[in-house]
Amino acid sequence: MTFLLITLLVFFSCPCAFAQGQQSFEMAYKRGKDLYTAHHYGEAIPHLSVAAYGNADLRNKAFYLLGLCYFKDGKLEEATQSLQYVLDHALAGSIEKKYASELMPVVNKQSAKMQTTPPEPPKRVDERGQKEALTFIKQASERAEKILQAANDQCKEVRRKAQEELDMMDNRNFYGVNGLIPGFTDEEKKAVWQTANQKIETIKARAKEEADEIMARAEAVARRHLKERGLSD
């Protein structure tokens, strides 16, 4: 805190530092004004807010443009505060005070209009149409779920058969006497699982494709149904 106070004291007591600061504020004002002219009101506000820390003349110019930006951006309360600052502090006869006095009634009128404008009546809701559309989606979802569940059961059966085959291989290897009964190599056992996994991936892919197609058709029907009833674009 002490360091900050010393810094501010040095800044404002040193003409060179103050001049450099004022130059920065003027640059911020120019950038904000350029953005305002380009209709980028929201982007102009931060630059003009910095410029408002400049000398009295620059401050009034910045607050006037801030009032315009806030007004254009639909922030009427902030616009009122900015323009009121100009009216309270700008010199009589200055162009900023003149324009601020002309703009303030417009801002106040817009604020009053927004406060008194009744809310739009709620749109008519066709509950039956919405329920019917939801029913299409729900029924399709149930069908898709059954397809995916059936695919899951098929995958379990593939795994079960693969495990049975591996158990048979292990038993044959275990009970083979001195190699009289040919056994199975690790590569052959590995191939069993590879084949099983390939079957499982195929089953899953087909089930997902079928389920996605069912849902896509149901969503299209639901959208068409809502559109026919005027419930969507």
**Beta-carbon contacts of residue 192 (< 8 Å; ≥ 6 apart):** 162, 165, 166, 169
Q: Is 225 exposed, middle or buried (0-12, 13-18, 19+ CB in 10 A)?
A: middle
> Which tokens sit at 212?
């996605």
Question: How far apart are the C-alpha atoms of 88 and 100, rounded to whole Å?
Answer: 10
For 138-170, what is each residue's pLDDT tens digit? 787 788 888 989 999 999 999 999 899 888 888
Q: Say whether 24 sits in a helix, a strand or coil.
A: helix
Q: How far apart are CA 226 and CA 229, in angstroms?
A: 5
Query: Model pTM?
Result: 0.45
Query: pLDDT tens digits for 92-105?
Result: 889 999 999 999 99
